[in-house]
Structure 1
Amino acid sequence: MNAIPPLLDHLVLATPDLGATVAEFARRTGIVPAPGGVHLALGTRNQLVGLGGRSYLEIIGPDPEQPAPTGPRPFGVDRLAAPAVLTWAISPPDLDAAVAGARAVGHDPGPVRPMSRRTPDGAVLRWRLTDTGPGEGAGLVPFLIDWGDSPHPAASGLPVTPLLAVSASAPDPERVRGPLAALGTSLALATGPVALSFTLDTPNGPVSFG
């Protein structure tokens, strides 16, 4: 079993207070996440850390400078009591082919929809992704993302702290392994409550989140 999931694009650390979580991340790791940008009309913003290669960590929380969105903020950040590793994303070579292939073997990754965010320098990044939604192993089965013609966040000069491992637990790991295999990836799974965690190789030594 790979310590790092195949096709990993990014991990999502969601928080009700982005500033506090970024400060705590910097204190624990010695790495200061870079501003990523704002998700216009969604009420969130993020900060990013490279994980080595074409992978990164997204720390996402409410953006106090935006008006309240008309619906819930992404990843349920409004309902979080504390930071949580909520989910992860993979970037297959061909998103549409990966969706069709997964559906052909019984796993529906969900609809594909467009997204965007404005970076601190004013550029707008656009991408497409799936929304796995609720269900067995919610958050443990990744969503799919295709950056299209936009530059990948990991190639934007982010501070880097290498990813050592990603692991998870689920009440019935086998019910998660099927969808993972259908998407062409895998995850180290143990039996237990639904949880996702990762470990970084930082200037302060190995540090785990989750």
Structure 2
Amino acid sequence: MSSDDESEGSEDARMKQLLSSWDDDNGSGDDSSSESEEEEEEEEEKKVGATKFDLGLQDNVLDHIVLAAPDFQDAMKEFENMTGIKPSVVGSLRGLGTKSARVGLDNNAYIELIAPDPKNSGPIGAALASQLEEGQLMPWHYAIRSSEVEAMKDDYVPNELGWQPDHISMFGASPDGTPKKWEMLYMYGHKIGGVVPFYIDWGHCDHPSATIPEVGALKSLVVRAPGGHKVHDLLSSVEGVTVEEGEPMLEFSFGSPEGTITFSADNPHGIKFPGFEEGDTGASGAPDKPEMIPTGGGGDKSDDDSDVQISDSDSD
């Protein structure tokens, strides 16, 4: 066995140990699950995951769109009432106070709903609650798939775009305990928040699109940014994204059993990890509070907390 294989093996073992010792913030919880909930969990176990390699996923295309709301249950009900499809609950990202659910689009893209977690308080959930008004469900950000996250972080983002990269490694575990790792790249300094995408590389993790219900086909994704902004060049080669000139705006439309649904937002805040508070949000320049989206690497989960850990790998 080579030194690289030994290092990778020891890292896997370390991650398994860390994940097995991760405490549940909810304690023992309520064991009196209803029969319907038990049946749903059994159905979830039957789902088979698939990696980006299994699915033949391409780079430089939309991976997912983030919808944000101040109340998770209200957002779930509103989305189901609007579309006729119930999103699949992913769970909570513990310590940060967020909860999420997903529903698929065509071409292995999906929508992710995020909101404060009522059972697990945290700074991110508190930020979402303060930034969104009651009843809102609005586009917040969007992710582009890329296998070049490392190269973009080291060269393209700082040297070509002149923005600050924030490279985040996420760690989770598959049902058999095998560690999973995926990468995300956020960019700051562009001053237009969620109009600029973040990038995600799922690595060898199962892609969420394989295990979630599909609502319908994406009909349009429109990104609007001031003329001359570098996001126009950034998105010029991304398939399926229409880029317009004007005040910052994010809008998308998709089909559903209830017809075409459109969500739109001016000056979307976008996801911002703790440590970046330079007021990089929309055209107003108002100070932003840190936010995070739970992007678990496995298939669908129940309402229990997701085993996810985060590593800021900018210094790698």
* Counterpart among 172, 178, 201 of residue 146 in structure 1: 201
**Structure 2 letter corresponding to 1:110:** P
Shift in CA distance, 60/93, structure 1 to aligned 2, threshold 3 Å: same
Alignment equivalent of 2:190, drawn from 125, 135, 138: 135
Q: Does 2:78 correspond to 1:24?
A: yes
Question: Larger relative CO (CA 8 A, sep 6+): 1 or 2?
Answer: 1
RMSD: 2.8
Q: What amino acid maps onto 1:185 in structure 2? A: V
Aligned match of 1:80: 132
| Aligned-pair CA distance for 1:58 | 0.3
Quote the residue 1:159 is aligned against.
Answer: 214
1:39-188 matches, within 5 Å, as: 39-66=93-120, 68-69=121-122, 71-73=123-125, 76-81=128-133, 82-100=136-154, 102-103=156-157, 104-108=159-163, 110-116=165-171, 126-133=181-188, 135-170=190-225, 172-175=226-229, 176-181=231-236, 184-185=237-238, 187-188=241-242
Letter in 2 for 1:206: T
Larger C-alpha radius of gyration, 1 or 2? Answer: 2
TM-score normalized with structure 1 length: 0.81
Whether 1:14 and 2:81 are equivalent positions in the alignment is no
1:50-86 Cα offsets, whole Å, 9 max, x none, are 11122110000011111x22x3349845421122201
- Aligned AA (1:32): K
Whether the aligned pair in 1 keeps the contact of 2:67 and 2:140 (CA below 8 Å) is: yes
CA separation of 1:179/1:159 partners in 2, compared to 1, >3 Å: closer, same or farther?
closer
Cα distance in 1 between the residues matched to 2:164 and 2:143: 12
Q: 2: CA distance between counterparts of 1:17 and 1:41?
A: 17
Give the aligned residue type for 1:177: H
5+ residue gaps, structure 2? 1-58, 265-316
Aligned partners of 1:37 and 1:117 also within 8 Å: no
1: CA distance, partners of 2:213 / 2:190: 33
Identity fraction in percent: 28
Counterpart residue type for residue 182 of structure 2: W
* Deviation for aligned residue 1:201: 1.0
Between Structure 1 and Structure 2, the one with more helix by share is 2
Cα deviation, residue 117, structure 1: 6.5
Distance 1:164 1:94 in 2: 27
Report whether the alignment pairs 1:209 with 2:209: no
Match in the other structure for 1:199? 253
* Structure-1 residue corresponding to 2:88: 34
Amino acid aligned to 2:209: A
Report if the CA contact (8 A) 2:102-2:212 is conserved: no
